[in-house]
Amino acid sequence: MSRYDVRKAVIPAAGLGTRFLPATKASPKEMLPLVDKPLIQYAVEEAVASGIEDIIIITGRGKRAIEDHFDRSVELEENLKGNGKAQLLSQMRHISTLANFCYVRQSEALGLGHAVLCAQRLIGDEPFAVILGDEIIDAPVAGLAQLIHAYKKRHGAILGVQEVPHHDVSRYGIVAPRTLSAGLHRVEGLIEKPAPADAPSNLAVIGRYVLPPDIFSILRKTRPGKNGEIQLTDALVELAKKSPMFALEIQGQRYDAGDKLGFLIATVEFALKNPSLGPEFNEYLQNRMSPSGERRKTRAVKA
Coil, strand, or helix at residue 83?
A: coil
What sign does the CA torsion over 13, 7, 214, 248 have?
Answer: negative
Residue 63 binding ligand UTP, by CB under 6 A: no
> What's the closest the beta carbon of residue 109 comes to ligand UTP, in angstroms?
3
How many residues touch ligand UTP under the rule CB under 6 A: the total is 22
Which residue among 4, 5, 16, 214 contacts ligand UTP (CB under 6 A)? 16
Residue 64 binding ligand UTP, by CB under 6 A: no
Distance CA 214, CA 220 (A): 11
**DSSP assignment of 1-13, as one string?**
--TT---EEEEE-
Residue 38 binding ligand UTP, by CB under 6 A: no
Radius of gyration of the CA atoms of the chain, in A: 21
Distance CA 236, CA 211 (A): 9
Residue 115 binding ligand UTP, by CB under 6 A: yes
Which residues, 91 to 110, sit near ligand UTP by CB under 6 A? 106, 109-110
What sign does the CA torsion over 273, 257, 28, 131 have?
Answer: positive
Residue 286 binding ligand UTP, by CB under 6 A: no
> What's the closest the beta carbon of residue 7 comes to ligand UTP, in angstroms?
21
**Cis preceding linkage at 22, omega within 30:** yes
Residue 177 binding ligand UTP, by CB under 6 A: no
Residue 193 binding ligand UTP, by CB under 6 A: no
Residue 233 binding ligand UTP, by CB under 6 A: no
Q: Which is nearer to ligand UTP, 147 or 232 (CB)?
A: 232
Query: What number of H helices and E strands is found in the chain?
Result: 12, 13
Please report, as ranges, the residues that interact with ligand UTP according to CB under 6 A: 12-20, 29, 58, 106, 109-112, 114-115, 132-134, 258
